[in-house]
């Protein structure tokens, strides 16, 4: 009888597939994982605590750095929370600009996920194709906001800049281009038998489990739960748009892939409708006092970020800084299911499952 | 099998496509007009109002003023103005609050340096940093 | 009797020693020259398919000296050996991988005149010797005293053993048609028709199993970057790492040459009716076919994701092996009734 023993393996914090500084301590028997313990906090910067000493405007650049792949939605959730407390009504034009920026950001974020996920699975090329499209979006948002990653575009009561000349035309050109490339991705990856065999039936969880673990975003929708805050609790102007909530059926990695790719398509639809509805020009800022002070009390708002439900809780005592601030960071919540999913899987599936959750470590660690 | 062949066709098709990479260190990457780069400071415009220091989220700006050499003038003029680029996040808030546009953004972003000391920029350096100055602030 | 046989049978002496030395170095230069530019070609083609330029800094616009610079850099690097590694095995492992890679080249005939060892069982020799490299990889994985390396080594062992079998089985059909294991005889048997047309399934199996033998995407599990960081050579640096890298590309050279010889008719012209079998043309035909095969390998690498270990095993044993066996049977039937 051979003597066998379990092996303790540290995956990360320096590992090509942990998407940042994430560590996973796994007990493996051969290649089969017996137990997995995620270790987080390597990128913790204490955004929430820092926010207590900052005025609301000063917090906005910090939110950029939480989910750095979709900074626009983070900007929005903070501004939206403060606006809710102050009761500020935004001009339509500013809201449309915000929606455009957020949906472009959503596409960019899903493209990064698509590229890095395929990179995890072993295909190098889709990463570069996805980044070609993302570069166009980043350039568009750079023209709009002056930043490539940390946009710092939204302000309480509106947005910092109006769109520069010709920007709307360039966005409109981008939509059909992106559609064409999306079809190409399906040729390259969507029908690839090797890819399908890697993701189908991997990392399956049921609707109940997903709800018990408080998953959100594509991680929840892949099980068939029809829940998208843009649809079911419309914020901003989302009730004016006609789009589908993409849901899966089986709750495996393949459904998560389909959900995210479908969401790119839906975001393109929203962008197209924006141009139909949008006034030609308007005010970019509502009337807000120079020094922004949220009235005493508390508020919690939640919106749909590319990764799931991002929420912002503000407890204010009427000063120009929040008394306490809390972000519900979707990546952090989505990550909690990982130990359960990894049990009994092998090393290759570990990467498939971890990649499929779509975590951004800046957001997990806050 | 069909999916694999489609994938092969897609990569082959892309072989003839235009390259999308930048020849970066040799050719500068053009940045759009609004790009937030290293600040440019106009000492003559500054009224020492301290708003930029107050709004800075990372407290990277420090300034001191002195009395105007002309005794008739009541307002102060700038004496020292330092930005610590180790912690500056180029968030654009200082240029946004500045009432006289004394501090503005440029499109320059190349801050890399071999020494941390080089990242501490003083008034003279910020005054001389006058390429690609942003027009709209 | 060819000139090489005369040489081998001539009495020993300084002139003979120098001739052998010169021939050996010539082969080494050709192979290493190929490896240098195969790495560059791979990076260039990958770059082109991925909308990048690839290396374009060292050695002019096309980066012609990039690989040379890389190897120089590896030579100059500090040789790091983990403290708890098994010293002897750690040092011997790259050699175990590298030596067989060069041994197999001896039997490959490139043109009618340019070949080295003309042995009766050339094909068998190739397959037997190339299998030895696995030992080096497993040794490297074990000796590194690193868990990722160990997993890489174990994967390599499992993968290479299970793909060796379909690889051998797929060429049995060719041996049946030729009636010889000698590679020159095999090429000569394809004067009118390349075996890829007679044995398309065997070609496919051989190509897939060959990719697995080479540890290239989609079968690059032993060094799967996203899972095992670098697999069996995770602890190797400097020139020891270069040994693994070189042997990988020497095998790419060898397998591509073998595919050209076995399936594409070696130095014979691709279209038999043209009668273009001149003395110098053989080398050109061979290189063209050979470059085509290398391109195919690179192209596949760019396009596909990686398989999972268990799927790889399943595919090898449950799909490739039965198909290869069926192919032998069908080949035997065809041989019996049509030839």
Task: Spell out the domain ranges in chain B.
Answer: 32-128
Looking at residue C1, its pLDDT comes to 45
- The DSSP element (H or E) to which B122 belongs, if any, is none
Q: Chain A partners of B93 at a C-beta cutoff of 8 Å?
A: 57-58, 61, 152
Looking at residue B33, its pLDDT comes to 85
Q: Chain C partners of A116 at a C-beta cutoff of 8 Å?
A: none
Question: Which chains neighbour B (Cβ–Cβ under 8 Å, 3 or more pairs)?
Answer: A, C
Q: Chain A partners of C151 at a C-beta cutoff of 8 Å?
A: 31, 347
Looking at residue C339, its pLDDT comes to 66
Residue A186 to chain B, least CA–CA distance (Å): 9
Q: Chain C partners of A350 at a C-beta cutoff of 8 Å?
A: 227
Are residues C304 and B7, on separate chains, in Cβ contact within 8 Å? Answer: yes
CB-closest option in B3, B31, B34 to A164: B34
pLDDT category of residue C2 using cuts at 50, 70 and 90? low
Q: What is the mean pLDDT of residues A30-54?
A: 86
Q: What ipTM, to 2 d.p.?
A: 0.85
Residue C229 to chain A, least CA–CA distance (Å): 6
Looking at residue A9, its pLDDT comes to 85
Residue A111 to chain B, least CA–CA distance (Å): 17
Q: Tell me the pLDDT of chain A averaged across its residues.
A: 87
Q: Which of C218, C234, C308 to mutate to test the interface with A (most CBs of A within 10 A)?
A: C308
Pairing outcome for strands A324-328 and B39-41: unpaired
Q: Which residue of C has its CA nearest to A120?
A: C226
Residue for token digits 């449950």?
C318
Q: Angle at the Cα of A116 (from C58 to A151), degrees rounded to 5?
A: 90
Q: Chain C partners of B25 at a C-beta cutoff of 8 Å?
A: none
DSSP for A88-106 reads: PPPPHHHHHHHHHHHHHHH
Q: Which of B19, B20, B24 to mutate to test the interface with C (most CBs of C within 10 A)?
A: B19
Sign of the alpha-carbon torsion through A150, A154, A160, A166: positive
Which residues 9-68 on chain B approach chain C with CB closer than 8 angstroms?
10-12, 14-15, 17-21
Are residues A57 and B93, on separate chains, in Cβ contact within 8 Å? Answer: yes
Give the three-state DSSP class for A312: strand
Strand ranges for chain B from DSSP E: 39-41, 61-67, 76-84, 103-105, 120-121
pLDDT category of residue A124 using cuts at 50, 70 and 90? confident
CB-closest option in A60, A146, A191 to B3: A191
pTM score of the predicted model = 0.88
Are residues A123 and C309, on separate chains, in Cβ contact within 8 Å? Answer: no
CATH assignment of B32-128? 3.30.70.3270
Looking at residue A235, its pLDDT comes to 85
- The pLDDT > 70 percentage for chain C reads 93
Q: Chain B partners of C53 at a C-beta cutoff of 8 Å?
A: 19, 21
Q: Which of A13, A122, A188, A195 to mutate to test the interface with C (most CBs of C within 10 A)?
A: A122
| C-alpha pair distances (Å), A4 with each of A8, A25, A171 | 13, 19, 59
Looking at residue C274, its pLDDT comes to 64
Q: Chain B partners of C51 at a C-beta cutoff of 8 Å?
A: 14, 17-21
Q: What is the mean pLDDT of residues C265-279?
A: 67
Tell whether A194 lies on the interface with C, counting CB pairs under 8 A. yes
Q: What is the mean pLDDT of residues A185-198?
A: 84
Q: What are phi and psi of C224, to 5 degrees?
A: -45, 105
Q: Chain C partners of A31 at a C-beta cutoff of 8 Å?
A: 151, 309
3-state secondary structure chain C: CCHHHHHHHCCCCHHHHHHHHHHHHHHHHHHHHHHHHHHHHHHHHHHHHCCCCCCCCCCCCCCCCHHHHHHHHHHHCCCCCCCCCCHHHHHHHHHHHHHHHHHHHHHCCCCCCCCCCCCCCHHHHHHHHHHHHHHHHHHHHHHCCCHHHHHHHHHHHHHHHHHHHHHHHHHHHHHHHHCCCCHHHHHHCCCCCCHHHHCHHHHHHHHHHHHHHCCCCCCCHHHCHHHHCCHHHCCCCHHHHHHHHHHHHHHHHHHHHHHHHHHCCCCCCCCHHHCCCCCCHHHHHHHHHHHHHHHHHHHHHHHCCCCCHHHHHHHHHHHHHHHHHHHHHHHHHHHHHHC
Q: Which residue has the higher pLDDT, B72 or A130?
A: A130
Pairing outcome for strands A297-305 and A158-159: unpaired
Q: Angle at the Cα of A237 (from A109 to A179), degrees rounded to 5?
A: 40
Looking at residue C276, its pLDDT comes to 60
Polymer length of chain C: 339
Are residues A187 and B10, on separate chains, in Cβ contact within 8 Å? Answer: yes
DSSP for A100-156 reads: HHHHHHHHHHHHHHHHHHHHHHT-SHHHHHHHHHHHHHHHHHHHHHS-SS----EET
Q: Is C179 left (phi over 0), alpha (psi -120 to 50) or beta?
A: left
Cβ(C305)–Cβ(A199) below 8 Å: no
Q: What is the mean pLDDT of residues C17-41?
A: 82
Looking at residue C24, its pLDDT comes to 79
Which of A119, A27, A35, A113 shows the shortest CA–CA distance to A341?
A35
Polymer length of chain B: 137
Are residues B20 and A132, on separate chains, in Cβ contact within 8 Å? Answer: yes
Round to whole Å and give the CA distance between B98 and B105. Answer: 11
Q: What are phi and psi of A42, to 5 degrees?
A: -70, -20
Q: Is A288 left (phi over 0), alpha (psi -120 to 50) or beta?
A: beta
Burial class (CB in 10 A: 0-12, 13-18, 19+), C83: exposed
Round to whole Å and give the CA distance between C6 and C19. Answer: 12
Tell whether C311 lies on the interface with A, counting CB pairs under 8 A. yes
Tell whether B83 lies on the interface with A, counting CB pairs under 8 A. no
Question: Which chains neighbour A (Cβ–Cβ under 8 Å, 3 or more pairs)?
Answer: B, C
| C-alpha pair distances (Å), A353 with each of A201, A256, C84 | 11, 10, 33
3-state secondary structure C179-222: CCCCHHHHHHCCCCCCHHHHCHHHHHHHHHHHHHHCCCCCCCHH
Are residues C151 and A347, on separate chains, in Cβ contact within 8 Å? Answer: yes
First vs last Cα of chain B: how many Å apart?
A: 56
Q: Across the A/C interface, how many CB contacts are shorter than 8 Å?
A: 80
Asked if residue A126 has pLDDT above 50, the reply is: yes
Round to whole Å and give the CA distance between C28 and B108. Answer: 51
Asked if residue C279 has pLDDT above 80, the reply is: no
Q: pLDDT per residue over A48-90, tens digit each? A: 888 888 888 888 888 888 888 888 898 899 888 888 888 888 8
Q: Which residue of C has its CA nearest to B21?
A: C52
- Helix (H) and strand (E) counts for chain B? 4, 5
Are residues A125 and C228, on separate chains, in Cβ contact within 8 Å? Answer: no
Q: pLDDT per residue over A285-337, tens digit each? A: 888 888 888 888 888 998 988 888 898 999 988 888 889 888 888 888 888 88
A27, HSE (Cβ side, Cα atoms, 13 Å): 7
> Which pair of tokens denotes residue C10?
């001539």
pLDDT category of residue C278 using cuts at 50, 70 and 90? low
Q: Which of C61, C303, C306 to mutate to test the interface with B (most CBs of B within 10 A)?
A: C303
Cis peptide before C218 (omega within 30 of 0): yes
Are residues C51 and B4, on separate chains, in Cβ contact within 8 Å? Answer: no
Round to whole Å and give the CA distance between C45 and C303. Answer: 12
Which residues 21-60 on chain B approach chain A with CB closer than 8 angstroms?
31-36, 55-57
> Which pair of tokens denotes residue C232?
């069996």
Q: Which residue of B has its CA nearest to A51?
A: B57
Looking at residue B67, its pLDDT comes to 83
Residue for token digits 């302000």?
A155
Cβ(A333)–Cβ(A216) below 8 Å: yes
Sign of the alpha-carbon torsion through C151, C156, C157, C162: positive
- The pLDDT > 90 percentage for chain B reads 1
Cβ(A132)–Cβ(A182) below 8 Å: no
Lowest-pLDDT range of B95-109, C222-236, C261-275: C261-275
């Amino acid at each position: 009888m051979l003597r066998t023993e379990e092996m303790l393996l540290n995956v990360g914090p320096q590992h090509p597939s942990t998407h940042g500084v994430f560590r996973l301590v796994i007990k493996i028997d051969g290649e089969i994982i017996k137990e997995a313990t995620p270790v987080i906090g390597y990128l913790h910067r204490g955004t929430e605590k820092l926010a207590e000493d900052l005025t609301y405007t000063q917090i906005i650049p910090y939110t950029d750095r939480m989910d750095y792949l979709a900074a626009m939605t983070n900007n929005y959730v903070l501004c939206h929370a403060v606006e809710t407390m102050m009761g500020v009504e935004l001009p339509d034009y500013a809201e449309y600009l915000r929606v455009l920026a957020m949906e472009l950001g959503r596409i960019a974020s899903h493209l990064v996920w698509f590229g890095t996920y395929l990179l995890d699975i072993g295909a190098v090329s889709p990463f570069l194709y996805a980044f070609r499209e993302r570069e166009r979006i980043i350039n568009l948002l750079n023209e709009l906001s002056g930043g490539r990653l940390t946009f710092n575009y939204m302000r309480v009561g509106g947005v910092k800049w109006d769109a520069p000349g010709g920007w709307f035309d360039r966005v409109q050109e981008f939509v059909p281009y992106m559609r064409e490339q999306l079809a190409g991705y399906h040729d390259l990856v969507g029908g690839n038998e090797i890819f399908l065999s890697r993701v189908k039936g991997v990392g399956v969880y049921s609707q109940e489990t997903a709800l018990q673990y408080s998953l959100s975003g594509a991680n929840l929708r892949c099980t068939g739960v029809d829940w998208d805050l843009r649809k079911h609790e419309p914020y901003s102007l989302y009730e004016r748009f006609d789009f589908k909530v993409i849901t899966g059926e089986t709750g495996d990695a393949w459904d998560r892939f389909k959900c995210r790719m479908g969401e790119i398509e839906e975001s393109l639809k929203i962008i197209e409708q924006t141009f139909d509805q949008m006034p030609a020009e308007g005010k970019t800022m509502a009337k807000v006092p120079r020094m922004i002070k949220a009235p005493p009390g508390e508020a919690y708002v939640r919106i749909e970020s590319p990764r799931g439900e991002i929420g912002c809780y503000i407890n204010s005592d009427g000063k120009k800084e929040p008394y306490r601030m809390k972000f519900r960071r979707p990546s952090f919540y989505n990550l909690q299911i990982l130990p359960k999913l990894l049990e009994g899987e092998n090393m290759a599936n570990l990467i498939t499952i971890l990649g499929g959750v779509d975590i951004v470590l800046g957001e997990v660690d806050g | 099998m069909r999916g694999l062949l489609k994938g092969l066709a897609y990569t082959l098709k892309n072989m003839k496509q235009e390259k999308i990479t930048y020849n970066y260190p040799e050719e500068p990457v053009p940045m759009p007009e609004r790009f937030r780069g290293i600040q440019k400071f106009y000492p003559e415009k500054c009224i020492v109002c301290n708003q930029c220091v107050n709004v800075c989220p990372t407290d990277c700006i420090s300034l001191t003023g002195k009395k105007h050499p002309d005794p008739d003038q009541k307002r102060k003029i700038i004496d020292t103005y330092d930005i610590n680029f180790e912690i500056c996040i180029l968030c654009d808030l200082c240029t946004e609050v500045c009432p006289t546009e004394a501090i503005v953004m440029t499109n320059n972003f190349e801050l890399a340096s071999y020494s941390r000391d080089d990242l501490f920029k003083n008034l003279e350096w910020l005054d001389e940093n006058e390429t690609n100055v942003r027009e709209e602030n | 009797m060819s000139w090489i046989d005369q040489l081998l049978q001539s009495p020993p002496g300084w002139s003979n020693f120098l001739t052998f030395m010169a021939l050996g170095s010539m082969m080494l230069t050709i192979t290493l020259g190929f490896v240098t530019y195969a790495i560059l070609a791979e990076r260039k083609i990958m770059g082109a398919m991925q909308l990048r330029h690839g290396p374009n800094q060292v050695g002019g616009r096309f980066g012609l000296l990039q690989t040379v610079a890389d190897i120089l850099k590896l030579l100059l690097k500090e040789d790091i050996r983990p403290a708890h590694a098994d010293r002897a095995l750690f040092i011997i492992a790259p050699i175990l991988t590298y030596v067989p890679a060069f041994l197999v080249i001896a039997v490959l005939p490139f043109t009618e005149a340019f070949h080295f060892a003309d042995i009766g069982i050339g094909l068998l020799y190739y397959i037997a010797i190339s299998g030895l490299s696995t030992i080096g990889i497993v040794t490297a994985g074990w000796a590194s005293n690193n868990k990722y390396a160990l997993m890489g080594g174990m994967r390599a062992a499992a993968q290479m053993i299970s793909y060796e079998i379909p690889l051998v089985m797929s060429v049995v059909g060719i041996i049946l048609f030729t009636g010889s294991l000698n590679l020159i005889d095999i090429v000569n048997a394809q004067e009118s028709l390349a075996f890829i047309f007679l044995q398309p399934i065997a070609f496919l199996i051989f190509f897939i199993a060959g990719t697995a033998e080479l540890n290239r995407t989609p079968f690059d599990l032993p060094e799967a970057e996203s899972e095992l960081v670098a697999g069996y050579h995770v602890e190797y640096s400097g020139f020891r790492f270069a040994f693994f890298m070189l042997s990988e590309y020497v095998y790419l050279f060898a397998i591509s040459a073998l595919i050209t010889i076995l399936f594409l008719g070696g130095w014979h012209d691709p279209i038999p009716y043209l009668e273009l079998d001149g003395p110098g043309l053989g080398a050109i035909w061979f290189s063209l076919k050979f470059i085509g095969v290398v391109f195919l390998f690179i192209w596949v690498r760019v396009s596909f994701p990686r398989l999972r270990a268990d799927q790889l095993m399943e595919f090898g044993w449950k799909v490739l092996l039965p198909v290869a066996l069926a192919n032998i049977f069908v080949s035997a039937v065809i041989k019996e009734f049509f030839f």
